[in-house]
Amino acid sequence: METPAATADAPEGLDAALDACDGIEGPLLPILHRVQAAYGHIPDAAVPAIAARLNLGRAEVHGVISFYHDFRTTPPGRHVVKLCRSEACQALGADALAAHAEARLGVAMGETRGDGAVTLEPVYCLGLCACGPAAMVDGQPVGRVDAARLDALIDTVLA
């Protein structure tokens, strides 16, 4: 599964996200999730429109975006690989797995390959502590990831 294209003609744009959340209590997070689902990230131009619709300051909207790690302000790669960095996964070799992923993809955590194929991100607990080290590839959780399994996952997203 690839991430959505960051274009204005995404199936659900900013106006649709704003309209869909009209009248609900505490609409900011649902709006941000919808915008990111539509564009793959939250474009800078969306912040003033969201703030105006909700009668909030732009700094308030930006503060929420920057607080939550899953919101992004730049387009991701076509595929997103997240590696768990929590204590349980670290105890099972997540540090070595992260180093392996960085070397294999040629990027550091939080970066996207130059060809735009893959973004590598840290995530802090996927809820798979009993199956660590854990990863998430394009939104799909994967447990018991070792270097060989990670290589297979990377091969799949690079194909």
Taking only the tens place, the pLDDT of each residue in 120-149 is 999 999 999 999 999 999 999 999 999 999
The β-bridge relationship of strands 118-123 and 135-137 is unpaired
CB-count burial class (<10 Å; 0-12, 13-18, 19+) for 35: buried
Domains of the chain from N-terminus onward: 14-67 (no CATH), 79-158 (3.40.30.10)
pTM beyond 0.85, yes or no: no
pLDDT tier, 12 (very low <50, low <70, confident <90, very high otherwise): low
User: Residue 98: what are its φ and ψ, rounded to 5°?
Assistant: -65, -45
| Rg, C-alpha atoms of the chain | 17
